[in-house]
Amino acid sequence: MSNHQIFRIGTRGSDLAMTQCRTVVDQLAAQHSGVDFKVIEINSRGDVDRSSRLDHLGVGVFTKALEDALLDGRIDVAVHSLKDMPSQLGSEFEIAAVTEREDPREVLINRWNCGFADMPEGARIGTGSPRRKAQALGQRPDLVIGEIRGNVPTRIEKALGGESSGLDGSIMAAAGVNRLKRTEVIAEHLDPNIFVPAVGQGSLAMEIRTGDKDARNIVAAAEDASARIAATGERSFLRTTEGGCSAPVAAYARLQDGKLIITGYAASLDGSQILIETLVGSLSTPGDLGNELAELLLSQGASELIGG
């Protein structure tokens, strides 16, 4: 432990990222009384550029700056929202811990505080996610989808803004709304078998330099075995489909009765064509199950949908 008397944890600077990081620090500090945890704020490209569409900023828009800080030794571990991480890491990095999963579902926020089916025809829903756009239009082709960027509080404000923001609502991750204690704005929790969550949504990932045993030992206290199994299956699915942040592709894994259940989703950008399948398999081989599910959707034409 002598090399890590001061252990530097890198995170993005948004309210949500800092809240998530503080939760992790509390968890680690409870297990390592001799370690001084220091939080270091690092701005990602996605934080600096608030005007460009996320799918135009490229892979790793929220993670690369933290990885750069890992490589040059400014930090010992990076805390990410797992859903922001590319499905394939560079050989220099490893995910040393996956935290217990928050609610992975999507939530609807809107100025009428009504359910998805009850919103008026032509309601204007803001999202920067091609997946959420496809899922919303797949259920309600009448909706008008507008671009929305910003941190969680900003997106909530815009979603409730009506005429002042040009939006009537938004679809967001339950995890972020819950962690910031803004649950009063949730109009509906959306069915994850229809609005399939982003891969890894709800879990945090602790990324370290490959082979850094000291860092791995320290962050091991944050590891959740069930979340790791689910993440492995989902990330395998994403890797095999080659779907990134600009593709309407998703996977949702959950553990039930000693089995792993994974639902995979792929769609055209306008939601008019949807592929969705569910497989059940062993907890011991989540990567294989995710890969099998991806191959099933690819055999049905998923690559043409998400590539188009």
- Which active-site residues does the annotation give? 83-84, 131-132, 149, 155, 245
Residue 77 is which amino acid? V
- In sequence order, the 6+-apart residues with CB closer than 8 A to the CB of 54 are 46, 61, 128, 129, 149, 245, 246
Query: From CA 201, how far away is CA 227, in angstroms rounded?
Result: 10
In the numeric block, the tokens 């890894």 are attached to 200
Determine how many CB atoms are found less than 10 A away from the CB of residue 251: 28
Query: Any idea of the CA torsion for 112, 116, 120, 121, to the nearest 10 degrees?
Result: 150
- Select from 50, 55, 54, 79 the least CA-distant residue to 67: 79
Question: How far apart are alpha carbons 211 and 89 in whole angstroms?
Answer: 14
Residue 162 has φ and ψ, to the nearest 5°, of 60, -125
Whole-angstrom distance between the N-terminal and C-terminal Cα of the chain?
51
